[in-house]
Amino acid sequence: MNLSPRHRYWVLVFTVFFAASIFVGCGPRGTDGETDTKVTGEETETILLPGDVPLEMVRIPVGTFLMGRYPGEQDSRDSEDPRHEVTIGYDFWMGKYTVTKRQWTAVMRTNPWAGQIWVLDDPDSPAVYVSWNDAQDFIAALNAHIVTTGQGVGNVRLPSEAEWEYACRAGTTTRFYWGDDPDYTQLNDYAWHRGNREGTYAHVVGQKLPNAWGFYDMSGNVWEWCEDNWHGNYNGAPADGSAWVDSPRGSNPLFRGGGWSTPSLCRSAYRNFIDHPSATSYLSGFRLAR
């Protein structure tokens, strides 16, 4: 059938509109009929480290959450106050797992945990005995590798404390990302901690259940460095998800996650710090963001 140029134009417009409506309609839906941007864990990217060692990251969408402990939260601390609203107005990516020994060695060609106490000799367990400064050196080397291998922009970094808690909570407001768990009976399913560890070391990543957004070991196993300096409470904290950094950067670096220690420290709101960015521990590791 021969169509005039005018008719061909309108047929093309209709076709594009129809295809776009199908594409949008196939997206995940919220209860109000709007597209649900809270669905995560479905979009991942893999950075190939030297030797083609994979580092998998999960996309996290924009959103607003309540950061800090809720009033009367069991076993909570004053440093988790005041509870405040944080709006993260940008998508970002975070590591599905903490950085492992295999990944560290691929990038840095070192093994700082060698000869140290309480270390599991398994390449897929977390890289430990790495300080906040060490994590920054890893990030610099990784970003250079990303650029030189044509894998995009070198924008990998440590997460801000707000980004970390947003990813950890995965839409929850309870003590843990699986619920309040007042007797810590469910903790064994989600975290390595003092009560269920199989040895005095951080365990292989990804063995416990993930949170709703597909992140593993956000509670327990190792402490995870954040970009922020420590502040004793949230008075004056940024409300946009950015890192709360004073001068000098890296002083009193902050970490989250609880490590394989006391169960109450594995709560989503718990936070702590160490007094120097060069300090290391069998409990300290890190997770990447970009």
pLDDT tens track for 120-177: 999 999 999 999 999 999 999 999 999 999 999 999 999 999 999 999 999 999 999 9
% residues pLDDT > 90 (the chain)? 85
**Element containing residue 271 per DSSP (H, E):** strand 271-273
Q: Would you identify the CATH topology of the domain 44-285?
A: paralog of FGE (formylglycine-generating enzyme) (3.90.1580)
Alpha carbon of residue 69 to chain centroid:
19
Q: Where are the domains of the chain?
A: 1-33, 44-285
Run of H or E including 259: none
CA distance 96 to 241: 19
Per-residue pLDDT of the chain (290 residues; tens, 9 = 90+): 443 434 433 333 333 333 333 233 333 323 233 323 355 567 999 999 999 999 999 999 999 999 999 999 999 999 999 999 999 999 999 999 999 999 999 999 999 999 999 999 999 999 999 999 999 999 999 999 999 999 999 999 999 999 999 999 999 999 999 999 999 999 999 999 999 999 999 999 999 999 999 999 999 999 999 999 999 999 999 999 999 999 899 999 999 999 999 999 999 999 999 999 999 999 999 999 99
CB 122 within 8 A of CB 204: yes
Buried b (16+ CB within 10 A) or exposed e, 274-283: beebeebbbb
What would the two tokens of residue 273 be?
């710090």
Please report how many Cα atoms fall inside a 13 Å half-sphere around the Cα of residue 179, on the Cβ side: 8
Give the SS3 label for residue 55.
Answer: strand
Tokens representing 156 are 């990998």
Spatial neighbors of 45 by CB under 8 A, at least 6 apart, are 56, 57, 59, 93
Tokens representing 6? 């005018």
Burial of residue 202 (number of CB atoms within 10 Å: 0-12, 13-18, 19+)? buried
Report how far Cα 285 is from the mean position of its chain's Cα atoms: 12
